[in-house]
Amino acid sequence: MWDWPAHRIHRALAAGEVSAVEVATAVLDRCDAAEGLIGAYVHRRERAEVLADAAAVDEALRRREPLQPLGGVPVAIKDNLSTTGMPTTCGSRILAGYVPPYDAAVVERLVGQGAVALGKTNMDEFAMGSSTEHSATGPTRNPWDLERVPGGSSGGSAAAVAAGTATLALGSDTGGSIRQPAAFCGVVGLKPTYGRVSRYGLVAYASSLDQVGPLCRDVRDAALVLGAIAGGDRRDATAHPGALPDYESALRPDCRGLRLGVPREFLAEGVAPEVRAAVAAAVDLLGELGAEVEECSLPTVSYALDAYYVIAPAEASSNLARYDGVRYGLRAGGGGDYAGVFARTRGEGFGPEVRRRIMLGTYALSAGYYDQYYGKAQRARTLLCREFDAALARYDALVTPTTPTPAFGLREKTADPLQMYMSDVCTVPVNLVGLPALSLPCGFVSGLPVGLQLIGRAFDEETVLRIGYAYEQAADLGRRRPPVAAMGAGA
């Protein structure tokens, strides 16, 4: 049962074939067997607490109460989403031991549906990274190869789903932090439209880019989770208050009547030939499923990574100013005036990648450099939005690789930040323009998963989910799992 997707768990519970306690026990046993090698979690709830929540679902079923779509489903939560009763540390020493007084909106909604929380997953510190190596608690390993990274910053969530130590997980995506780990770990990851899901309770990295979304076994699960967590929220002015569609009903086994564009800039130099071949094969299959596919161009995409690494650090330098050693979290010792405590706290509490991005952002916003860097980056962002709008007026969705390569090795890129940043080259444009995008497996290179990215129109998650579902059913890659023997756990 640890390998079942959420929709299968729902059917089995509704039919009385299994109990929620049996499902939770299977996943907890899987965690005990595999977690020591993978390191997906930074905090696991006590077994008794998890089983008590599962027992409450079983008791509700005995009272003949209706079973919610995610009732009894074991879920993992990224460590930058606020949770009462569990620490929220964002993978940082500066928030060690911090337990929020409230739950994030997405956590409220999942728990309100009867989902069973397992714990908090590892991440790059404050979501700043592409490998889950920039964490105060140490790295997470990729279940497909324990000497490779799971991607980042939601690497713990992706690895947990891939390894079966969670049925599904929540992540956040600022420049690809859901989709890139999904590609590296061979699972499905959805970044919704900016504003589709409330950011209340998400610890901010870059507020105009951040979005919460699911990492799942398959596309149907992604549709179920989006239906549970999406919608307006009076506590988040950016959350869209409109009516929600039934995402699961949008899933169909074909792409008839759809026009798909393949931007050539996403397949340029730097994308591994094997990744290009896997994406080309996926595009051919989408054509066989009835889609009309043609090549297109988005010239401004070549400036997206540069613009992102000005805008995101600039917003981070502002958002992270609140960690001052006074109100919560780490407070450096040594006494002295406020400025001294402030400087020592941040120097001791933040890791090198976070300090690097704060300095980049502060510099870009400083007097004399604002127009030269931040202003130009925002103008490039505007041009990029116009190009995507024009392309998506012609096409129903765009098809690209999720990442230029499969998962790279542990410590391979930590000494070269620019090489690390390049792993997000296919994902950051989507955050800059605020559109929805889905990553799902489209093949394997030397035993490692390759991700296919589908980019849709604003608030049109139904179409990307429909395309992803049709491809997933036809390609039939979902049966392949990470090497169980390498994780020391039996099937």
What CATH number should be reported for the domain holding residue 256?
3.90.1300.10
H, E, C per residue of 175-234 = CCCCHHHHHHHCCEEEECCCCCECCCCECCCCCCCCCEEEEECCHHHHHHHHHHHECCCC
**Tens-place pLDDT, residues 178-196:** 999 999 999 999 999 999 9
Whether 312 is in a domain gets the answer: no
Whether 347 is in a domain gets the answer: no
Whether 338 is in a domain gets the answer: no
Percentage with pLDDT > 90 across the chain: 91
Whether 15 is in a domain gets the answer: yes
The answer to whether residue 78 is catalytic is yes
At residue 480, the pLDDT reads 85
487: confidence class by pLDDT, cuts 50, 70, 90: low
Whether 458 is in a domain gets the answer: yes
491: confidence class by pLDDT, cuts 50, 70, 90: very low
Q: 10 Å Cβ neighbour count for 386?
A: 12
At residue 295, the pLDDT reads 97
The answer to whether residue 208 is catalytic is no
The answer to whether residue 131 is catalytic is no
Q: Which residues contact 297 (CB under 8 A, 6 or more apart)?
A: 263, 264, 265
At residue 368, the pLDDT reads 86
Domain region containing 421: 6-300+382-487
Mean model confidence pLDDT for the chain: 95
Query: 399 pLDDT exceeds 70?
Result: yes
Percentage with pLDDT > 70 across the chain: 98
Q: Which residue has the tokens 């127009």?
A: 371
Whether 311 is in a domain gets the answer: no
Give the total number of structural domains in the chain: 1
Mean pLDDT on 396-414: 97
Single out the catalytic residue among 92, 172, 177, 439.
Answer: 177
Single out the catalytic residue among 92, 131, 153, 157.
Answer: 153
Whether 358 is in a domain gets the answer: no
Whether 134 is in a domain gets the answer: yes
H, E, C per residue of 389-419 = HHHHHHCCEEEEECCCCCCCECCCCCCCHHH
The residue with greater pLDDT, 283 or 338, is 283
Mean pLDDT on 401-412: 97
Query: 426 pLDDT exceeds 60?
Result: yes
